[in-house]
Amino acid sequence: MNVNMFQAGDNVAATDHSDIDKLPVEELPLPPDFVWGGTTASYQVEGAVTQDGRGPSIWDTFTHLEPSRTNNENGDIACDHYNRVSEDVDLMTSFGVDVYRFSISWSRIIPHGGRNDSVNDEGIAFYNRLIDSLLAKNIEPVVTLYHWDAPQGIYDKYGAFLNTAEFKADFERYARVCFSHFGDRVKKWITFNEPYIISIFGHHTGVLAPGRNSSNGGDSRTEPWIVAHTLIVSHASLVQIYASEFQPSQNGTISIVLNSHFYEPWDPDSPIHVDAAQRRQEFYISWFADPIFLAKDYPACMREFLGDRLPQFTDTERTLLHQTAHLNTFYGMNHYSTKFARALPEPPAPDDCTGNIEEGPTNCRGEEAGPVSGMAWLRVAPYGFRKLLNWVWERYQLPIIITENGCPCPGESEMSKEEALDDQFRMRYFGLYLDAISRAVYEDGVQVTGYYAWSLMDNFEWSAGYGPRYGIAHVDRTTLERTPKKSAWYLKKSFDERRSKGKSISWN
C-alpha cells in the first residue's frame, strides 16, 4: 500500500498525552465502502411514553422515583421522535448518512413484555413507518432489540434478567415478533446494547435502571454476574433462532454491541500495573466476548478473582455457545475514551467488580489520558482507540463496526444555541478518532467497516438528564426544534473526502 500519507504523526509517544490536543486532524483515508451514520436509543429520543398503547419500562419507573436519580428529568417527551419521524429522517438525509442505528422499545411492541402478552399493532406500525421512511431515502436501518428499557411488567414478575429462564423465553418471543414484522427490510440486527452497563450500572452501583444494589434490596456481590449470564445465554439463543428460522429467507446479519474504555497501565514500567490493565480489559470486554465469540468460559482472571460469585455454564448452555459463536457476523464497538488502570494493594472488597483495580484519568507521572470533554470521564485519546481496535481484532478476528463514538463539548450544556452550534471541539474529536480508525485499518490490518456517531441529536442522557449534549444536531428543550451543528456538516464532508482518498490507495 501507499504508506506516505500516514507518516505525519503516526509515532506519537503513548506515554506523553499532555499535548494530544495539539495533534492535527489529517483526514486520513477510509475504505471506499466504509459506511457512516447516526445512532439513538428508544427511551432517549422517542417520548410518547403512554401514546398508542405503549407500556411502561424500567426507565419510566426509574426516572419518576423520589428523590430523583435523573436530575429531576425524564424521557416522557424526550425529543418527541415518535411524532417527528418524517422530520428526523429528512434531517438524516441532509447529513448524507448511510445508516441510522436505532433501538426498538420492547414496551411499545409488547406493552407488558411477556411471551403470552398481546402485541401492540400501533407499535408495529410506528417502526414500519420509520423503517420504510429510511429506506425511501436510501438509509440503512440498523436495529438494536434491547437498549436498556425492559418492560416494567417482566421486571415486576420475576426481576427480568435475574431469572435467566424466564427472561430468555420472553426475549425470544419479542425478538421473533420483530424479526417477523421487520426482518424483510432490516438486514443488520443487534441483540443487546452494552451488557456491561446493564449488569454493573443497573445491578451493582444502581445508578441506572432498575437501580439495584445492596443498599436497596439487591445484592451487588452476586446479581451483576447473574444478569450478565442471562444476557449472554439470551443473546446466543437469539442468534440461533435468527440463523435457523429467519436468516435463510431474510439474508440479514446479527451480533451484539459491547462497550469499553481502553486501559493503559497506571505505571507502564510495573508488571503489576501492566497486568492490571489487561485484567481490567478482560473484566470489561472478555466477560461477554469470550463466551459469545470464542465459545469459551469466562476469562481465567475472572474465575480467580470472583470464585463462586461467577455462574457456571451448564452443558446445554455450552453447547449453545459452541453452535452460535461463528454465527455472530460483526463486533459492535461502543467506545469513547481511555483510562489508566492501577492495581490496588489491599484485598478486593466483597462486591468488587473490577478485578481489584482502580481506574482514573491520570497515570503515576501525573500525565492525563487526554483533554477533558464536557464529561469529566471522557478524555480525547485517539491513541487508545487505535489500541483498542487492535486488541479486539487480535482476540476475536471479527469485522468491527463502531456503533457509538462521540462527545459533548466542554461547557456545552451552559452555552447559548449559537455557541453550541459552533462545536469545534466535537469536530476535532471526530477527526482524530477517524484518523485512528484509518491507521488501524491501513497500518495495522484491522477490519473496520463502519462508524455511527453518538448521537444523531441531543437527547436524554440517562442519569445525567438533558445536561450533556452529544448530538450533531442541537435540540431546543422548549420547542424541540432540531438545528444541525457544524459537526454534522464536518462528518458529511470528511467521510466524502476520506472515502475518496481510499479509492486511490494501492496495495503491495
Count of other CB atoms within 10 angstroms of residue 65? 12
Strand locations in 35-118, DSSP E? 35-39, 99-103
Q: Which residues, including other chains, have CB under 8 Å from residue 418's CB and lie 6 or more apart?
A: none
Residue type, 298: Y
Q: How many helices (H) and strands (E) does the chain have?
A: 18, 13
253 φ/ψ angles, rounded to the nearest 5 degrees: -130, 160
Residues 300, 131: Cα–Cα separation, whole Å:
43
Q: Strand 140-146 and strand 188-193: pairing?
A: parallel
- H/E stretch holding 88 reads helix 85-95
Residues 266, 359: Cα–Cα separation, whole Å:
8
Contact status, residue 241 vs residue 248, Cβ threshold 8 Å:
no
Strand locations in 260-410, DSSP E? 262-265, 331-334, 338-343, 357-360, 400-404
Contact status, residue 143 vs residue 190, Cβ threshold 8 Å:
yes
Residue of 140, 317, 404, 412 marked active site: 404
| 358 included as an active-site residue | no
- Can you name the residues that pair with 368 across neighbouring β-strands? 362
| 419 included as an active-site residue | no
Q: Which three cell numbers stand for residue 267?
A: 505505571
Residues 463, 208: Cα–Cα separation, whole Å:
6
Contact status, residue 407 vs residue 433, Cβ threshold 8 Å:
no
Among 258, 257, 255, 278, residue whose Cα is nearest residue 266 = 278
Give, rounded to a whole angstrom, the gap between the first and last alpha carbons of the chain: 5
- H/E stretch holding 95 reads helix 85-95
Residue of 194, 317, 412, 461 marked active site: 194
Contact status, residue 472 vs residue 421, Cβ threshold 8 Å:
no
Q: Which residues are catalytic?
A: 194, 404
